[in-house]
Amino acid sequence: MRKLVEISGLTKVYDDGLVQGLSGVNLVLEEGMIYALMGTSGCGKSTLLNLIGTLDSPSDGEILYEGKRLDEIESISKFRREFMGFVFQFHHLIPVLTLQENVESALLPNKQVSSKERQNRALNLLNDMGVGHRAQAYARQISGGERQRGAIARALINYPKLLLADEPTGNVDSKTAMLILEKLKGHLKTTSGAILIATHDPNVAEIADVIIEMEDGKIVSILNKVAIHDSDKSLGLEGFGSPMRVTLFE
């Protein structure tokens, strides 16, 4: 599978080196895969998402996006807008805009998309997320679960290759959480992209292809369920035993 993101030796320190956010992280994100980034609060999950999403700069190490360093990309803002989608634990919708207008707002900088196409894309995504009937309601008038589904529609409207999600199911009920996860899985069927989800939710781990565990700013284990399934299938071992985990640090 094609590598979308390659991370090597990624380190982030704060307060003149007194606080270690990340320490020598190595990771590859491939197309067509869902990655669950798991670990206790403060282990570095959000820091890693922010660095991959170009919302922060590393203290050391390198990130390649489809083989290119960030300094080799002409317009970082354009690249971020077209290559990535962001979903945060808090929806960050604009309260004075309707739900549809919030979703459309992510497409406004793209002058190649007509207003009609922008409206159609937004409404189709809202319908797909089950909140099309709330498209003309203002963000302040709808429930938290509806806002989060609107935020996910906004993140998907540019058809991003990489979707970064920080606790997307953290503030919604279990039914809405499962709907969100199913829609994220569906996104992969229409794009040759990848999804990286920082989470505590075991339901996310259930649907993920790869489970990455972090501790104290390091990746301590990676469980690739797809590779294990393919290996078991080739050996005729499907249904036997349980997935094995690659432990990187003891």
Question: What percentage of the chain carries pLDDT values higher than 70?
Answer: 90
What CA–CA distance (Å, rounded) separates 33 from 192?
9
* Mean pLDDT comparison of 11-25, 118-132, 138-152, 177-191, highest-scoring range: 118-132
- pTM equals 0.85
3-class SS of residue 77: helix
**Radius of gyration (Cα) for the chain, nearest Å?**
19
Is 201 contained in some domain? yes
Is 97 contained in some domain? no
Q: What is the CATH number of the domain that holds 11?
A: 3.40.50.300
Is 98 contained in some domain? no
Please state the rounded mean pLDDT for residues 104-122: 90
Residue 77's pLDDT band (cuts 50, 70, 90): confident
Is 126 contained in some domain? no
Please state the rounded mean pLDDT for residues 200-207: 86
Please state the rounded mean pLDDT for residues 41-50: 92
In the predicted model, what is the mean pLDDT of the chain? 85
pLDDT digits (tens, 9 = 90+) for 145-186: 888 889 999 999 998 999 999 888 777 778 888 888 888 888
Task: Please tell me the total count of domains within the chain.
Answer: 1
Q: Looking at residue 20, what is its pLDDT?
A: 86
Please state the rounded mean pLDDT for residues 91-96: 85
Is 120 contained in some domain? no
Q: Looking at residue 229, what is its pLDDT?
A: 52
What CA–CA distance (Å, rounded) separates 170 from 154?
18
Is 111 contained in some domain? no
Is 220 contained in some domain? yes
Give the domain range for residue 67: 3-92+161-247
Is 137 contained in some domain? no
